[in-house]
A = this chain, B = another copy of it.
Amino acid sequence: METTTSSTTAQIIDKDQLLTHWLGHRKVTRRTLEAFPEKDLFEFSIGGMRTFAQLTKELLAMDGPTAKGLATDEWEAFDEEKTELTTKAALLSAYDDATSTIEKYWKAITMEKFQEKVVAFGQYEGTGYSTLFYIIDNETHHRAQGFVYLRALGITPPNFWEQY
């Protein structure tokens, strides 16, 4: 029996579209980071929550390492301390580096990987797709909390729907 190429079979979302979706969310997160005054980024929070700088460090511990992990099966230790990131400029630069890491490893992620079992960071069991969807959702979740911090500071956040 001949097999068809994947392009002839209906996909819910294809790999290029998923990368565009992910990078689109990252553009909104980067604009959110940019919108914070330096001081508030590291000091402001509500209800005992983490600052947006701390939340961003969590995102940075997950994004590039997940792309690399899915591409190579090598998972770095989960590191959200990143004590060297003490300025807004350093966070923005690290965020851009993570975007480059994602773009670098994306092609090496196989289509099969999304349905394979993955133990992310050596501890979180799931599949490739569930791991990736989780970290995109987690970024959407924490960025939305940053939106509330900005509103509380009297600053208009970026538009959620402008993911380009």
Q: How far, in angstroms, from A49 to B5 measured CA to CA in the complex?
A: 48
A107 at interface, CB cutoff 8 A: no
How many copies of this kind of chain does the complex include?
2
Taking CB atoms, residues of chain B closer than 8 Å to A149 are: 148
Q: How large is the interface on A (under 10, 10 to 19, 20 to 34, 35 or more residues)?
A: 35 or more
Taking CB atoms, residues of chain B closer than 8 Å to A2 are: 1-2
Chain A contacts with B in 103-145, Cβ cutoff 8 A: 110-112, 114-115, 129-130, 133-134, 137-138, 140-145
Q: Which of A13, A115, A134, A160 has the most CB of B within 10 A?
A: A13
Q: Is the CB of A142 within 8 A of B144?
A: yes
A15-23, A33-41, A76-84, A85-93 - the one binding chain B: A15-23
4 nearest CB pairs, A to B? A47-B151, A144-B144, A10-B111, A9-B9
- Chain A residues in the interface with B (C-beta under 8 A): 1-4, 6, 8-15, 17-18, 21, 25, 46-49, 110-112, 114-115, 129-130, 133-134, 137-138, 140-145, 147-154, 160-161
Contacts A/B (CB < 8 Å), 29 sampled: A2-B2, A3-B4, A4-B4, A4-B9, A6-B10, A9-B9, A10-B111, A11-B115, A12-B14, A12-B15, A12-B115, A13-B114, A13-B133, A17-B129, A25-B137, A46-B151, A46-B152, A49-B151, A134-B161, A137-B137, A140-B141, A141-B144, A141-B147, A142-B144, A144-B144, A145-B145, A145-B147, A145-B148, A148-B148
